[in-house]
A and B are shown apart, each in its own frame.
Chain A
Amino acid sequence: MCYVVCREIEINAVVVAPSSQHFLEIDERCTYPGCTVCLMYCPAEGSIVETKTGRSMVPPPQEVWTENKRWPRVP
C-alpha cells in the first residue's frame, strides 16, 4: 500500500525495483518525517523502520499520526 499512497500524494518515492524480484523500494524522494502518510496504510508489521533509531514504524506510533501530520484531502 505504501506504493499506492505515495503515488496518490504525488511524492512518488516508492518504486518497483528494477530487479526480477520486483521488491518495493523507498528512494531519496521520501520526505519522512515531514510526510508519514504511507505508514498508516502499511499492513506489514515491522516492515518500515526508522533509520536513525531502528524502531518499527508499522503499526505507526501515535506521534506520527497526530492531526498536524495528516495530509488534507479535499473533494
Chain B
Amino acid sequence: MPASPSAKPRAALAAQLLQQSEQEAAVTPMDAVIEFARAGKFTNDHCFRLLARLWTLKRMLYYVYGGWAQGINLNDYPPGVAYLFGKQTYDESTQEMQYCDEILRRRLVPTQRALFAHPYGQFAIATRTGAYIFCLRALANYPHHIRIAALNLGAKVIELSWTERFAKLLPDESLCAVFHSQLAETRSHILMGRHQVEQYIHKDIDIELAKRLCVETKRDYLFFLEETARFVLGMAAEKAGEVTVQADID
C-alpha cells in the first residue's frame, strides 16, 4: 500500500461521507411508518410486515458478507480489519435472529419454517430488496476499505438514524427494545467505517470511488426503505418514475 503524504484528506473524506449520509438520513420513508404507529394504527399485521421485511434483508446479508470475506486475502490489511469485519458479520447475524425471534414471540407464525414459507418473509429477486442486496454483493469487486466506506459511512448511517427513531418513538415497548438493542452495534459499524477510511484510503482514485459507491449504495438502500414502508403500510408498489432519490456525487 503506498504511503500517504497526509492523513488530512482521509479524515476529510470520512467526515464528508458521514455528513452527507446524516443529511440524507434526516428524512426517510420509514418516518411514515413511525407516524402511522404513533397514531395508534399499527396492527399485528403491520408489525409482522415490518419485522418480516427487515428480517428478509438481514438473512440475505449472509451472502453479502460471505462474499466479501472471500475477497480479503492474508495480510491485505493489518489484523484489526479482520477483527472488526468478523464482529460486524456476527452482529448482523444476531440482528437477523432477533427479528425472527420477535416474529415468533408474537405468534405471528408458529415456526421458523413457516416464516420462510409466508409471503411476508419471501426474498424476491425483482424487488428493491433484491437490488440493494445485489448492490452490496457487487461491492465485493472493490477493495475492502472502499466497500466498508460505501456501506458503513453510507447506508449504515441511514439505518442508524431510523433505528434510533424507532427505538425512541414507537409506542410498542418490545419493538422499541429490539431496535434499541441494535444501536450500539450499528454505531460501532459506523465508527469502524470512519476508522478504515481514515487509515486505508490513500489514493485519489480510492477517494473518488468511495464517494461514488457510497452514493449508489445509499440510493439503493433508500429505495429498499421506500419499498419496505409501502409494504408495511399496505400501499401500492411504486410505479415507474414515481420515486426518485438524489444521486449527486459532488
Contacts and interface: CB of A to CB of B under 8 A. Distances in A.
A15 B101 contact: yes
B178 A7 contact: no
- Taking residues whose C-beta sits less than 8 angstroms from the other chain, chain B's interface range is 10 to 19
Given A12-B104, A12-B112, A19 B181 contact: yes
Nearest to A17: B181
Interface string A1-36: 001000100101001111110100001000000000
Interface string B43-63: 000000000000000000000
B112 A18 contact: no
B112 A20 contact: no
Contacts of B112: 7, 10, 12
Contacts of A20: 180-181, 183-185
Contacts of B97: 3, 16
Interface in B181-202: 181, 183-185
B115 to A, nearest CB: 11
Interface SS of B by simple majority: helix
B122 interface: no
B174 interface: yes
Interface in B126-173: none
B41 interface: no
B181 A12 contact: no
Interface string B67-109: 0000000000000000000000000001001100110110000
B110 interface: yes
Given A3-B97, A15-B101, A18-B98, A10 B110 contact: yes
Contact of B94 (A7, A10, A22, A27): A22
B177 interface: yes
A10 B104 CA distance: 10
A43 B101 CA distance: 22
Contacts of B19: none
B111 interface: yes
B189 to A, nearest CB: 14
A47 B152 CA distance: 36
A16 B98 contact: yes
Given A3-B97, A12-B104, A18 B110 contact: no
Nearest to B104: A12
Given A3-B97, A12-B111, A12-B112, A18 B174 contact: yes
A12 B141 CA distance: 39
A18 B173 CA distance: 11
A10 B111 CA distance: 6
Interface of A: 3, 7, 10, 12, 15-20, 22, 27
Interface of B: 94, 97-98, 101-102, 104-105, 110-113, 174, 177-178, 180-181, 183-185
6 contacts: A12-B101, A12-B104, A12-B111, A15-B105, A18-B178, A27-B105
Nearest first, the 7 A-B pairs at minimum CB distance are A18-B177, A15-B101, A20-B184, A10-B111, A18-B181, A12-B104, A16-B98
